């Protein structure tokens, strides 16, 4: 498996909704792998037709394509000094360090660890030297809210609120892609460039979620301590512990084995099916609870493309495959 990192710089605020009754009012500063996969499928469909979507789904189904969730990156003084962040794993330390209550509150808010400090952080959880995580910046942008108005036929305008996140000029989102064939990597790169013009996430009809591909890193070898560690962990299939970088769900036949000694948090997934070529009403997708990125397992599983509905007589899939980091605690 080859790995690439695609760094995105957003040119507009983003709306990555949470699956709750207040999904429109709330947002988060990242997208999940299934959101990206669905957006790529829509772009492939509109530009190349059904065969392109079948090609993309077939590659994902057989494991020739792997996607991570979107994760933050922070610009350095030089492009090669940009900092990549990884989700903080759901692990409890062997020994709890004595810290002030104010510091403990700060620690709870840390969601991401820089790749160049990830090994040291895992070591501290396993009983090694304490690593002060409050030193790692989490200020990737600002969450805010805008007021919109819905105007029904023969009725008065009804205001509603949309939660948005605007990245700092020196920050953005990157994601990792595992791929087996050069053709697949090139076609996904093309669709990603086109997707940037229309946007990813929610409310793209209002101009939100647009981006440019700032840089692409081929992770065959590392060029600094962060990418060197990342390349080693991505290829460590025989490691004793595995951290998922994407929201994922085992197939039914894998679930019992996957749950053994697992440490995880669950994420509720719902949403609606929108046919990009039609004007019909959106159809509700099947709701699932999936493992959140940062969940930890003692053994790997393949996951699956879950069928969550149909449109025009064709199945609609949710991407539930993991992309793994292999680590030693």
- Which tokens sit at 275? 């046919």
Give the start-end residues of each E strand in 168-282.
171-179, 211-218, 241-244, 266-269, 272-273
Q: Indicate the DSSP class of residue 254.
A: G
Q: Which residue do the tokens 């962040």 mark?
A: 85
To which H or E segment does residue 74 belong? Answer: strand 71-74
Taking the mean position of all CA atoms in its chain, how far away is CA 45?
A: 22
| pLDDT tens, residue by residue, 249-261 | 999 999 999 999 9
Sequence-distant (6+) residues with CB within 8 A of 49 are none
Q: Which of 83, 202, 68 is nearest to 138 (CA)?
A: 83
Q: Which of 275, 274, 273 is nearest to 286 (CA)?
A: 273
Contact 74, 214 (CB under 8 A): no
Contact 284, 270 (CB under 8 A): yes
Neighbours of 169 (CB within 10 A): 9
Q: What separation, in Å, do the N-terminal and C-terminal C-alpha atoms of the chain show? A: 24
For the chain, state the CA radius of gyration.
Answer: 20
| pLDDT tens, residue by residue, 12-71 | 999 998 766 567 888 999 999 999 999 999 999 999 999 999 999 999 999 999 999 999
In Å, what is the CA distance from 146 to each residue of 131, 151, 248?
Answer: 39, 16, 32
Q: Indicate the DSSP class of residue 226.
A: H
Neighbours of 114 (CB within 10 A): 21
Distance CA 9, CA 205 (A): 19
Q: What is the pLDDT along the chain (329 residues), one digit of tens a residue?
A: 999 999 999 999 999 987 665 678 889 999 999 999 999 999 999 999 999 999 999 999 999 999 999 999 998 876 667 899 999 999 988 877 777 777 778 888 899 999 999 999 999 998 888 888 888 888 999 999 999 888 887 778 888 899 999 999 999 999 999 999 999 999 999 999 999 999 999 899 999 999 999 999 999 988 888 899 999 999 999 999 999 999 999 999 999 999 999 999 999 988 777 766 666 677 788 889 999 999 999 999 999 999 888 777 678 899 999 999 999 98
SS3 content of the chain, % helix, strand, coil (to 5): 30, 30, 40
Sequence-distant (6+) residues with CB within 8 A of 67 are 33, 36, 37, 60, 175, 176, 177, 178, 246, 319, 321, 323
User: Phi then psi for 150, rounded to 5 degrees?
Assistant: -100, 130
Q: Which of 101, 165, 152, 112 is nearest to 135 (CA)?
A: 112
């Amino acid at each position: 498996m080859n790995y690439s990192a695609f760094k995105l710089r957003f040119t507009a605020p983003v709306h990555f909704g949470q699956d709750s009754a207040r999904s429109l009012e709330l947002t988060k500063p990242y997208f999940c792998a299934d959101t990206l996969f669905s957006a790529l499928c829509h772009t492939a469909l509109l530009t190349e037709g059904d065969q392109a979507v079948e090609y993309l789904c077939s590659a994902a189904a057989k494991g020739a394509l792997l996607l991570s969730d979107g994760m933050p990156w922070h610009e350095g003084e030089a492009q090669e000094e940009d900092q990549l962040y990884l989700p903080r794993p759901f692990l409890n330390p062997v020994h709890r360090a004595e810290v002030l209550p104010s510091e403990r509150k700060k620690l709870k808010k840390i969601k991401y660890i820089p790749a160049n400090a990830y090994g040291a952080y895992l070591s501290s959880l396993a009983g090694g030297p304490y690593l002060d995580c409050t030193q790692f910046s989490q200020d990737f942008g600002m969450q805010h809210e805008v007021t919109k108005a819905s105007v029904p036929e023969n009725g008065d305008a009804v205001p509603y609120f949309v939660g948005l996140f605007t990245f700092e000029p020196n920050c953005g989102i990157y994601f990792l892609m595992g791929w087996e064939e050069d053709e697949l990597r090139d076609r996904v790169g093309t669709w990603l460039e086109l997707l940037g013009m229309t946007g990813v996430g929610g409310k793209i009809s209002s101009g939100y979620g647009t981006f440019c591909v700032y840089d692409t890193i081929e992770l065959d070898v590392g060029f600094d301590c962060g990418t060197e560690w990342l390349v080693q962990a991505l290829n460590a299939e025989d490691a004793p512990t595995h951290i998922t970088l994407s929201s994922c769900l085992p197939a039914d036949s894998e679930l019992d084995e996957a749950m053994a000694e697992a440490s995880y948090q669950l994420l509720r997934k719902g949403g609606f099916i929108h046919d990009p070529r039609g004007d019909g009403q959106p159809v509700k997708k099947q709701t699932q609870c999936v493992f959140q990125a940062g969940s930890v397992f003692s053994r790997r599983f393949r996951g699956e493309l879950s069928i969550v509905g149909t449109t025009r007589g064709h199945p609609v899939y949710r991407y539930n495959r993991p992309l793994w980091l292999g680590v030693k605690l």
